[in-house]
Amino acid sequence: MPSNPNDDLAAAMDEAGISNKALAREVRRLGAERGLAVSCTHVDVARWLSGMRPRGAKPELIASVLAQRLGRPLTLPEIGMDSRKGPPLTLGLAFSGQQAATVRTSRILWDEDLRQEDFLWHGTVSAAMLVPPMARWLVAPPHEPLSRTGRTLKVSRHDVDAVRATARMFEELDHRYGGGHARRAAVQYLRSEVAPLLHGNYTDQIRRELFAETARFTYKTGAMAYDIGLHGLARRYFVQALSLAHASGDRALGGKVLAVMSHQANFLGEYGEAVDFARAAKLGAKGQATATVHAMYCVMEARGLASLGDRRACLRALREAEGAFAKAGTMEEPEWIGYFDEAEFHDEFGHCFAALRQSDDATRHARMALESSSDAYPRSRTFCRMTMAGAYLAPQRPSQRDVEQACAVASQALALVDRLKSHRVREYVRTFDRSLDSYAALAPVVAFRQQLREMALCAG
């Protein structure tokens, strides 16, 4: 038994008012949200307090649970669990214009992710750290293909089709069940099936298609990490996806990666970088993006601007998106933009107007999104309903009727929450719950919060 008790952890638990049993329970719950099979009991917590350092993702989960209780961020050193020495903390965060380096770094990232290395799971990666990769992608010269003659594994179009179909399958699982449902399986597929293909023998055309599909698969796997709250890990995947997209020569796909980076930055409150990433996507893919893809770039820019409170610039970006989306279908679209349909378009508008506190416009677009949405996207429908619920509270002095409508819409959204392994969904719910504090005595709020308690979704 370690001889040095973890006084920092004990102090944090005492401040949070959480028992050994409750901490173990919350660590298991958060792990399940993130798609991890975490086993721990009050006995393990006692061992941690005695000085034993838990393995894998547990330190980050412990810090996250306590941070939620305390309402402020907590670093690992603050709970007496410094990171152990491991692979470079910058793994996966550098853009590469060299195919061999991109393949090597991606393979190492997949390996370390499968090992659940601490530095990947809890390492802080700010949006500002992604600006250099973004800038390098913007100015990088066209990729020079690496010769792959003499390799024993010959890659065919059938192999590329298999990667494409598998990526599509994981996308569907992500949309239906959340990022925590099958993310580890996605990483395993990348490592065991895709990595050997990247090292194989292929023609230049097959190379372009293979790297494009791998970029798509990689950013989607990163998006799954983003969805379950592993933001630093997600950003490493996004940078690798950007390098893979560059290797494929597909600028529009690279722009898509930047758009996902913009989406995440906006979610994390890094609004300036969110705008920068979206604008870089528009600039870097200029002349190579379809109308629908360009519209998607524009709404990501608009969302960042709305969060900054820049109404005029936001409306300008939305008008540009509207004009581009009106031309959708005039040319063949890439498969990866298939999700950006009328429902998604209106959903993004709803988010923008909600951030601008334009309640009527926000609820109108949210309603249009829900009316045209598909059962294939339950997570998006949940986001949309929670945004709509929040919009009812946007007026400076919401009426009792507004509060009733907000709670009614939010209650409808809760019907889907249990089936979604999504940290983002739960954050939407918690954000809305906090917005109800001023109306805590009203019957609809009391009933809604009782529903949260029954579903174990409340923070208290």
The pair of structure tokens assigned to 216 is 């798509």
Percentage of the residues of the chain whose pLDDT score is greater than 70: 95
pLDDT over 80 (residue 382): yes
Can you tell me whether residue 206 is helix, strand or coil? helix
- Give the whole-angstrom CA distance, residue 420 versus residue 173: 10
The pair of structure tokens assigned to 388 is 């709509």
Q: What is the CA radius of gyration of the chain?
A: 23
Give residue 2's pLDDT band: very low, low, confident or very high (50, 70, 90): very low
Per residue in 442-455, pLDDT (tens digit) is 999 999 999 999 88
Can you tell me whether residue 164 is helix, strand or coil? helix
Burial (CB count <10 Å: 0-12, 13-18, 19+), residue 2: exposed
Quote the mean pLDDT of the chain.
92
Angle between helices 251-267 and 204-227 in degrees, nearest 10: 10
Burial (CB count <10 Å: 0-12, 13-18, 19+), residue 351: buried
Q: Is the separation of the CB atoms in 307 and 266 below 8 Å?
A: yes
* CB-based contacts of 228, cutoff 8 Å, min separation 6: 33, 34, 35, 178, 179, 180, 183, 421, 422, 423
Give residue 71's pLDDT band: very low, low, confident or very high (50, 70, 90): confident
DSSP 201: B
* CB-based contacts of 221, cutoff 8 Å, min separation 6: 170, 183, 186, 187, 190, 237
Residue-range domain boundaries for the chain? 7-79, 87-248
- Give the whole-angstrom CA distance, residue 20 versus residue 10: 10
Per residue in 95-151, pLDDT (tens digit) is 999 898 899 999 999 999 998 766 677 778 999 999 999 999 999 998 776 655 556
The pair of structure tokens assigned to 62 is 């412990």
Give residue 421's pLDDT band: very low, low, confident or very high (50, 70, 90): very high
Distances, alpha carbon 42 to alpha carbons 9, 28, 51, 136, in Å: 14, 11, 15, 49
Give residue 460's pLDDT band: very low, low, confident or very high (50, 70, 90): very low
CA 269 to chain centre: 13
Distances, alpha carbon 134 to alpha carbons 95, 142, 223, 224, 262, in Å: 8, 15, 17, 21, 11
pLDDT over 80 (residue 26): yes
- Give the whole-angstrom CA distance, residue 363 versus residue 211: 40
Per residue in 287-320, pLDDT (tens digit) is 999 999 999 999 999 999 999 999 999 999 999 9
Give residue 55's pLDDT band: very low, low, confident or very high (50, 70, 90): confident
Q: Is the separation of the CB atoms in 306 and 263 below 8 Å?
A: no
Per residue in 225-269, pLDDT (tens digit) is 999 999 999 999 999 999 999 999 999 999 999 999 999 999 999
Per residue in 320-343, pLDDT (tens digit) is 999 999 998 778 999 999 999 999
- Give the whole-angstrom CA distance, residue 376 versus residue 331: 25
C-alpha dihedral (8, 10, 14, 16), degrees to nearest 10? 70
DSSP 395-419: SSS--HHHHHHHHHHHHHHHHHHTT
Burial (CB count <10 Å: 0-12, 13-18, 19+), residue 17: exposed
Q: Is the separation of the CB atoms in 358 and 388 below 8 Å?
A: no
